Amino acid sequence: MSKFFTNKYSSLTPYTPGEQPRDKKYIKLNTNEAPFPPSPKAIAAASEAAARLQLYPDPTYKALHEALADYHGLTADEILLTNGSDEILNFAFMAFCDEKHPAIFPNITYGFYSVFATLNHVPYTEMPLRPDLSINIEDYKAANGTVFIANPNAPTGLMLTPAEIEEILQSNPCRVVVIDEAYIDFGGKSVAPLVRKYDNLLVTRTFSKSRSMAGARLGYGIGSAALIRDLNTIKYSTNPYNVNSMSAAAGLGVMADEAYTQQNCSTIIKTREYTKTELKRLGFEMTDSMGNFLFVRHPRVSGKKIYTALKERGILVRHFDRPTIAAYNRITVGSDAEMKALIDTLADIVGKSE
Ligand SMILES: *Cc1c(COP(=O)(O)O)cnc(C)c1O
């Protein structure tokens, strides 16, 4: 830390992204990226937009807001496009939390929530998961704070039903409830249609996972027009051109190719279920993940050991050091060939540890 760094941020522990090694070629199953390239329509649109990079983007991103509104059966003023869904989450902490309005989220969830809380000087409470790693909705009823829940949750992949989320919404009419649907396209049921029923609901989405566009940094929020106006106040006070023109164009391209996205999602779901069966055969235990990842442990081999042994053999997965989940690894569902390599390698690792 330099002597110039403000005290305001000196205690901040930044988010640790998954490894993005460039030294050697890994089978990369550690950051929940898609194994498929972006839609050809997204690639073409981005390269056309590249030829106009001398111009600022349209700060209202009208065309893409309208495409997303169509997709959700809403209007453009109920949506706000951001630089990845990380940005809409940060905006939500800025807009709806402060010293008097703390945040509340599970103790095992997306690691960025606590970082954004600290960044914005928002006190927060972490509610423990049940022993089976599920969320107990009672913990979030009449909560003294803004609720942040990833649904499916990360890294467990477990889901709440829309009815359970409605219970949380109804018991917190004076606080915003943020539902992070980064992984909703892999078989989950979205609560986005509820934004007209609940003025305290903000749903966040990303193009990073199901739409194969993690590198584009594209996400958005869905909420009542009033909530979206508040978030726009934050956006226009920080970065009016928060999404670059190539990414916005790519987003429009992929939204015009919904069949491609649907096809990829159903492939991932099939591969996920196949991999669950094969890993159970090897003695692994796991949550019933509804994401594009599995959360697995082995009764005899430690999580760290499995992580290290896989890495030595060229397969990268995500291990979290937090004591309650240290036995686990989070493994992205990749292509069928990648999963076959994973299963063979894990068979070897647990076989040698007999
Ligand atoms: C990947 C992820 C995000 C962030 O996605 P970006 O749009 O790439 O910023 C948000 N929430 C959860 C739970 C995620 O796993």
Q: Is the pLDDT of residue 87 over 90?
A: yes
User: Counting beta carbons within 10 angstroms of the beta carbon of residue 157, is it exposed (0 to 12), middle (13 to 18) or buried (19 or more)?
Assistant: buried
* Ligand 1: nearest atom to the Cα of 208: 8
Residue nearest to atom 1 of ligand 1 (CA): 182
Which whole number is the average pLDDT over 149-174? 98
> Checking DSSP bridges between strand 103-106 and strand 146-150, what pairing results, if any?
parallel
Mean pLDDT, residues 322-349: 97
Identify the sign of the CA torsion 33, 95, 152, 207. Answer: negative
3-state class of 131 per DSSP?
coil
For residue 272, report the distance from its CA to the centre of ligand 1, in Å. Answer: 19
Interatomic CA distance for residues 74 and 127, integer angstroms: 33
- Ligand 1 atom closest to 153 (CA): 13
Distance (Å, rounded) from C-alpha 217 to C-alpha 243? Answer: 8
Residue among 192, 191, 186 nearest 163 (CA)? 191
Whether 90 lines ligand 1, by a CB cut-off of 6 Å, is no
Question: Does the pLDDT of residue 171 top 80, yes or no?
Answer: yes
* Distance (Å) of CA 200 to CA 146, 166, 178, 298, 351: 10, 11, 8, 41, 51
Contact yes or no for 330/297 (Cβ under 8 A): no
| Average pLDDT over every residue of 4-28 | 88
Confidence tier at 22 by pLDDT (50, 70, 90): confident
Tokens of 246: 């190539």
User: What confidence tier does 11 reach under pLDDT thresholds 50, 70, 90?
Assistant: confident
The residue-averaged pLDDT of 90-95 equals 98
Of 62, 36, 57, the residue nearest 46 (C-alpha): 57
Query: Which pLDDT tens digit goes with each residue over 27-55?
Result: 999 999 999 999 999 999 999 999 999 99
232 SS3 class: helix
Q: How far apart are CA 124 and CA 105, in angstroms?
A: 8
In this structure, what DSSP letter does residue 160 have?
A: -
Residue 354, pLDDT score: 62
Q: How many Å lie between the centroid of ligand 1 and the Cα of residue 86?
A: 6
DSSP letter at 101? B
CA distance 61 to 307: 42
Q: Which has the closest alpha carbon to 214: 40, 324, 83, 310?
A: 83
Question: Alpha-carbon distance 73 to 6, whole Å?
Answer: 45
Which DSSP state fits 78? G
**pLDDT at position 16:** 85
Q: How far apart are CA 157 and CA 145, in angstroms?
A: 24
Mean predicted lDDT score pLDDT of the chain = 96
Nearest ligand 1 atom, CA 32: 1
- Return d(Cα 13, Cα 256) in angstroms, integer: 40
Which residue, among 188, 176, 92, has the nearest Cα to 140 in the 3D structure?
176
Strands 124-127 and 103-106, by their bridges, are parallel
CA distance 271 to 333: 7
Q: Are 240 and 87 in contact (CB under 8 A)?
A: no
H-only helix segments in 54-151: 62-72, 84-96, 112-119
Residues 6+ apart with CB under 8 A from 246: 46, 47, 49, 50, 53, 216
Out of 149, 156, 208, mutate this one to test ligand 1's pocket (max ligand atoms within 8 Å of CB): namely 208
